[in-house]
C-alpha cells in the first residue's frame, strides 16, 4: 500500500456505516475514528449506537464525560491527531459517522475564531447573574436570526460562546465556522446510500432492538450517575427524552418507542438532504446489498 489516504465513510443514521467500517478495517488493517457528535460521550453506548469498542481499533468513542463539551474545533484537532498516529504505525485511518458539519470542517478546514476579550466575558457573566440565562439567550436570538435550531437556553457554554463571539467580533459564530480554508489533506469519501423506505424500516427496527436490549436500564443508570452535572451533552441523544418520559410514567412503552422512531426518521431526512447537497462522494455504496469490494477496488486504484 503506497499511501494511507484517510477514508471517510458516512451516511444517514441506522444505515450500516459501522458494519462497512468494520469490514474495511479488517481488509485494510485500519483504525476506526469516530465522526458522530454523540458517540464521543460516555454513558449511553447503546442509545448512541456505538460499536463494540476494541482498544487500538476504535478511537474517539466513549471518550468524553457527558459534561465535557466536544465542539467541532476540538473534535477536528483530535481526529487529525488520530490520523497522524494511525499513519505512524502503518494503520489505515477510517473516519466513520454521520455528523455532517464535523465532516465538512474536517475536509475543508475552518477559520480560527478570534479570542474573546475578558471584558466581554465578564459582561456575559454579569447578565446571567443579574438577569438570568434566559435574557442572554433572548438577546442572542434577537441579534442572530440564524442560530442553530437545536441550540437551547440550557446549553450554557454554547450560548455564552455564541453571544460573546458575536459581541466581540460583530459576526455570528456560524459565520466564523463558514469561513473555511482548503486543506491539503486528501480523503476518499464514501457515502452509504439508501432507499428511504428501507432506511426508515431499519430505523424503526433498530430502536425496537435497543429497547429489547436494555436501553431503559442504561438511561436509568445514566440519570443516576450524572444527575448533578450542569451541562449534559450526551443527553441530547435522540431517544433519551422519550425513554426518560417512560421511566417517569409520562409515556407508555409504545409511545416512547414511536416518538423516538419519529424523531430519528426526521433526523435521517435532514441528513439525507445534507449529503445530497454538501457531500461530494468519490464512491457510493448502495443498499441493501453493500458491495465493500467495490470500495476496496476504488482504494487500490487510488494508489493505496
Dump pLDDT digits (tens) for 110-165: 666 778 888 899 999 999 999 999 999 999 999 998 887 778 898 888 899 999 99
Structural domain containing residue 90: 7-110+180-301
Which band of pLDDT confidence, cut at 50, 70 and 90, is reported for residue 181? low
Residue 51, in any domain of the structure:
yes
Residues 61 and 162 in one domain: no
Residue at which a domain ends, from 178, 207, 230:
178
Residues 265 and 190 in one domain: yes
Kindly provide the residue ranges of all beta strands, DSSP E only, lying in 50-176, ordered along the sequence: 58-59, 92-96
Order of strands across the sheet that contains 92-96? 58-59, 30-34, 92-96, 7-10, 188-193, 283-286
Q: Is residue 273 part of a domain?
A: yes
26 backbone dihedrals φ, ψ, rounded to 5°: -65, -45
266 pLDDT more than 90: yes
Residues 289 and 221 in one domain: yes
Tell me: do 93 and 28 sit in the same domain. yes
Tell me if 222 is assigned to some domain.
yes
Residues 38 and 141 placed together within one structural domain of the fold: no
The percentage of residues in the chain with a pLDDT greater than 70, rounded to a whole number, is 95
**Do residues 33 and 95 touch, judged by C-beta distance below 8 A?**
yes
Residue 34 pLDDT level (bands cut at 50, 70, 90): very high
Q: What CATH number is given to the structural domain containing 235?
A: 3.40.50.300
Residue 295's Cβ-count burial label (10 Å; 0-12, 13-18, 19+) is buried
Residue 1 lies in a domain: no
Return the CATH number at 153: 1.10.20.140
Give the end of a domain, one of 156, 178, 200. 178
Domain boundary among the residues 129, 152, 178 is at: 178
**Residues 221-264: pLDDT tens digits?**
999 999 999 889 999 999 999 999 999 999 999 999 999 999 99
Decide if 188 is inside a domain: yes
pLDDT at 75 (0 to 100): 93
Report pLDDT for 1. 45
Domain count for the chain: 2
Report pLDDT for 112: 67
77 and 196: one domain? yes
**What cell does 172 get?**
455570528
Terminal Cα-to-Cα distance of the chain (whole angstroms) = 5
Residue 13: which of 200, 149, 290, 151 has the closest Cα? Answer: 200
Rounded to the nearest integer, the mean pLDDT of the chain is 91
Q: Are residues 168 and 191 in the same domain?
A: no
What is the predicted pLDDT for the residue at 182? 52
Amino acid at each position: 500500500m503506497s499511501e494511507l489516504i484517510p477514508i471517510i465513510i458516512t451516511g444517514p443514521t441506522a444505515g450500516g456505516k459501522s458494519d462497512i467500517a468494520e469490514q474495511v478495517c479488517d481488509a485494510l488493517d485500519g483504525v476506526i475514528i469516530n465522526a458522530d457528535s454523540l458517540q464521543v460521550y460516555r454513558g449511553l453506548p447503546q442509545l448512541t449506537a456505538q460499536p463494540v469498542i476494541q482498544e487500538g481499533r476504535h478511537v474517539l468513542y466513549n471518550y468524553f464525560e457527558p459534561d465535557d463539551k466536544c465542539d467541532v474545533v476540538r473534535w477536528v484537532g483530535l481526529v487529525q491527531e488520530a490520523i497522524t498516529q494511525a499513519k505512524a504505525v502503518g494503520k489505515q485511518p477510517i473516519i466513520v459517522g454521520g455528523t455532517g458539519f464535523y465532516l465538512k470542517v474536517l475536509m475543508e478546514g475552518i477559520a480560527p475564531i478570534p479570542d474573546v476579550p475578558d471584558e466581554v466575558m465578564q459582561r456575559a457573566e454579569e447578565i446571567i447573574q443579574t438577569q438570568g440565562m434566559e435574557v442572554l439567550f433572548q438577546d442572542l436570538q434577537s441579534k442572530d436570526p440564524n442560530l442553530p435550531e437545536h441550540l437551547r437556553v440550557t446549553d450554557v457554554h454554547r450560548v455564552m460562546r455564541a453571544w460573546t463571539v458575536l459581541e466581540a467580533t460583530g459576526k455570528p459564530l456560524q459565520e466564523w465556522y463558514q469561513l473555511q480554508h482548503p486543506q491539503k489533506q486528501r480523503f476518499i469519501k464514501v457515502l452509504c446510500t439508501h432507499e428511504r423506505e428501507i432506511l426508515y424500516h431499519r430505523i424503526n427496527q433498530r430502536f425496537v432492538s435497543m429497547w429489547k436490549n436494555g436501553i431503559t436500564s442504561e438511561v436509568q443508570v445514566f440519570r443516576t450517575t450524572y444527575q448533578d452535572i450542569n451541562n449534559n451533552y450526551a443527553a441530547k441523544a435522540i431517544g433519551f427524552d422519550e425513554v426518560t418520559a417512560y421511566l417517569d410514567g409520562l409515556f407508555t412503552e409504545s409511545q416512547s418507542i414511536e416518538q423516538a422512531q419519529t424523531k430519528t426518521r426526521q433526523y435521517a431526512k435532514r441528513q439525507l438532504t445534507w449529503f445530497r447537497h454538501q457531500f461530494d462522494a468519490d464512491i457510493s455504496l448502495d443498499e441493501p446489498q453493500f458491495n465493500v469490494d467495490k470500495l476496496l477496488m476504488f482504494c487500490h486504484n487510488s494508489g493505496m
